[in-house]
A = this chain, B = another copy of it.
Amino acid sequence: MADSCRVETALEILVGKWKPVILFHLFSSGTMRFSELQKAIPDITKKMLTAQLRELEYHDIVHREIYLQIPPKVEYSITEYGKKMTPLLQAMNDWGMAHVEHLNELYGKDQSVESFEVNDELVGK
């Protein structure tokens, strides 16, 4: 735990209602157009998709490739630097899965940690 705590720095990048799902899709599919992301995440609005992508872009996690053509085409992908997040995301994912199990043991199977609609979405894709 050392003498300081930058956990919040990591949180800042990931926090945002749709960032984990966006990252999940980009990590899985490699490169996706704006409209492909929209299709993959039906409930997100253009406004939010744009906003969250811009934040990830600012943090050099996501790359935005613009093709100057009509109609426009924009592709998003994980940067090389962004790929270094994989172990962290993996660790969070693993801990999250174990924690769901733990909560089930504590409170019973019917309990939810909320916000699982996001996962339903992934399942239904």
List B contacts of A68 (CB < 8 A): none
Q: Is the CB of A92 within 8 A of B88?
A: yes
Q: Could you list which residues of chain A lie within 8 angstroms of chain B, going by C-beta atoms?
A: 1-2, 4-15, 20-21, 23-24, 27-28, 59-60, 81, 85-97, 99-100, 102-103, 106, 113-115, 118-119, 122-123
Instruction: Determine the distance from Cα of A16 to Cα of B1 in the docked complex, in whole angstroms.
Output: 19
Known: A9-B113, A60-B103. 6 other contacts (CB 8 A): A1-B27, A5-B20, A5-B24, A5-B118, A87-B91, A91-B91
CB-CB nearest 3 A-B residue pairs: A6-B96, A9-B96, A10-B92
Q: Is the CB of A91 within 8 A of B88?
A: yes
A-B contact pairs, 27 of them (CB 8 A): A1-B90, A1-B93, A4-B119, A5-B20, A5-B24, A5-B93, A5-B118, A6-B94, A6-B96, A6-B99, A7-B14, A7-B23, A7-B89, A8-B20, A9-B95, A9-B96, A9-B113, A10-B93, A11-B15, A12-B114, A15-B15, A59-B99, A60-B106, A87-B91, A88-B91, A88-B92, A88-B95
